[in-house]
Amino acid sequence: MSEKKKKPELFGGLKRQISGFGSSGLIRRNTQAYTGINLGSGFIKGVTVRQGRVTACFVEPKGEISDTIDILKKRKAIEEKKIKISLKDSSCLVRYFSFPKTDKKKLKQAIYYQLNKYIPYPPGEVYFDYAVLKEISPSQDYILLAVAKKNYIQEILAIFTKKGLSVSEITLDSISLINLYLNRYPEDEKINSCLLDLGHSFSTMNIFEKGVPFLSREAKFCTKDIIDIIVRTKEIKNSEDFFSSICVRIGKFFDIVEEEVSSWCKEIRNAFDFFELNREDKIDKLYITGGLASAPGLTDIFSKQLEVPTEVFEPCSQDAPGLRAVFKDEKMKFFKNNLAVSFGLAL
């Protein structure tokens, strides 16, 4: 008799991890070894976790997922066959809403019956998970809902299975970033903040009210737009190492891309205004991570145009055991901010 395969955990640990502050250390103590992979829009990024520690990282330009996996396996970047995946796609959604208090055993079924109110897909076509974030009244709870189309998830699983890799957990980039932020910045439970992940093809905003997730939104602006403007204007030849080299020097080109960055700020400001309108309070701090986050001068532009203190998000502690060895390569040091989702996945 053939052994029945165990299904991967979807939105791994959503209810377990979005639980407030106080967890110690970047990586939870987990004796199992695995590779955490972030299927980004421009790069596939990942970490190897062994005995609760990140022992290796990789960043690879993304072509077809199947082909990129072959490249990573060939150079032995995927060191463990047990895989955890974080992803974002137009078919993956995160929603927030108030919901009548319901017995814990019946809550998932109750949310399922109401899914049509919150998502544009038939309930039978999606996987979903949820977290109760806080009580907002004696009769209402505040809920985070994560959703992904079944056909999209099944396509991803089929690719990894064909490559001989066992997927044990799948989650969304927003959830990975939320978990990492809550873990890394417990002192922010007294302020309102936004974590902006600058992606290659589109970006992700997570807004927090006194340390509680309030809004997750995909933004249309992306680092690719900035790079394209500089390449076109300065007639710079693109190459495999171009992205890292241009980010180091991008401060010299901010006059060229100022209008583009200004349009980014308008979209961010719209999200801030939505928060301020609904909560009658302001955003106190903006963190940026992902592509271009390390570019000199970018935080100054955001601070000036949004009138909000801005700093680069630190996805990991420089003093965490083993991480000095992981980032001994200069190129990996640069890509550290691109690994925020992967580190969040590793929690």
Give SS3 for 144. strand
Residue 4: inside a domain: no
Residue 335: inside a domain: yes
Q: Which domain holds residue 238?
A: 9-345
**pLDDT at residue 224 in the model:** 83
Query: What is the share, in percent, of the chain residues with pLDDT greater than 90?
Result: 55
The 10s digit of each residue's pLDDT in 149-182 is 999 999 999 999 999 999 988 999 999 999 999 9
Residue 18: inside a domain: yes
Residue 135: inside a domain: yes
The count of other CB atoms within 10 Å of the CB of residue 320 is 15
Is residue 98 within 8 Å of 140, Cβ to Cβ?
yes
Averaged pLDDT score across all residues of the chain: 84
Distance, CA of 57 to CA of 40 (rounded, Å): 15
pLDDT at 30 over 70: no
Using alpha carbons only, give the angle 191, 131, 211 rounded to the nearest 5 degrees. Answer: 5
Distance, CA of 295 to CA of 247 (rounded, Å): 5
Give SS3 for 174. helix
Residue 219: inside a domain: yes
Phi and psi, residue 177, nearest 5°: -70, -40
Give SS3 for 316. coil
Structure tokens at 132: 């109760």
- pLDDT bin (cut points 50, 70, 90) of residue 321 is low
Mean pLDDT of 89-112: 94
- The number of folded domains in the chain is 1
Looking at mean pLDDT, say which of 10-24, 230-244, 285-299, 317-331 comes out highest.
285-299
The 10s digit of each residue's pLDDT in 229-246 is 777 776 555 544 455 555
**pLDDT at residue 222 in the model:** 85
Q: Say which CATH number the domain at 143 has.
A: 3.30.420.40
DSSP tag of 60: E
Is residue 177 within 8 Å of 196, Cβ to Cβ?
no
